[in-house]
């Protein structure tokens, strides 16, 4: 490769024009897919972009860029995001299972409005109160309900 061609290739890489169109498209699709999963995880907790940004020390605009796929996540930033959302890193990856229309194999990140509100309230509590809420929920889940309890819940 001649010196001028090598310099041109380096210059193109610096300006984001290096590599094949297929690789750039693959990278863009990957970033958008990760961004969609990031948004779904954030919404499942009932967090705004601003609230997530505050947890991470970022601007809400940067969170927005990650969510739409304009900016890709580095591995370290993806780990920070996953930690802030209380999920594992694999939940952000495109190969992770998605919810189905039938509800079979339901994605645990797909939560209804009431559950998202409960999660938001829970995460707003001090750690000692969160521990009490967890104990209470465990007690309730282990309690045997009779038919009158089911009727009241409906």
pLDDT of 105 strictly over 50: no
Mean pLDDT of 70-99: 82
Q: How many CB atoms lie within 10 A of CB 45?
A: 20
Higher model confidence: residue 83 or residue 108?
83
Secondary-structure percent of the chain, ordered helix, strand, coil, rounded to 5: 65, 0, 35
- CA-nearest of 134, 111, 140 to 122 is 134
**pLDDT score of 56:** 92
Mean pLDDT of 50-60: 93
Cβ atoms of 32 and 39 within 8 Å: the answer is no
Higher model confidence: residue 16 or residue 89?
89
State the average pLDDT for the chain.
75
pLDDT in tens, 11-31: 555 555 556 777 777 788 888
Mean pLDDT of 149-153: 54
């Amino acid at each position: 490769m001649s010196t001028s061609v090598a310099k041109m290739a380096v210059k193109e890489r610096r300006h984001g024009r290096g590599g094949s169109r297929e690789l750039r498209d693959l990278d863009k699709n990957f970033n958008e897919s990760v961004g969609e999963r990031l948004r779904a995880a954030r919404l499942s907790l009932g967090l705004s972009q601003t609230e997530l940004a505050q947890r991470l020390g970022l601007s809400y605009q940067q969170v927005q860029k990650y969510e739409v796929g304009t900016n890709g996540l580095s591995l370290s930033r993806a780990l920070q995001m996953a930690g802030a959302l209380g999920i594992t890193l694999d939940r952000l990856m495109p190969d992770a299972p998605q919810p189905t229309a039938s509800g079979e194999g339901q994605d645990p990140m797909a939560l209804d409005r009431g559950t998202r509100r409960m999660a938001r309230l829970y995460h707003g509590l001090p750690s000692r109160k969160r521990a009490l809420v967890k104990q209470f929920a465990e007690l309730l889940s282990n309690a045997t309900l009779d038919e009158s309890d089911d009727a009241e819940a409906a």
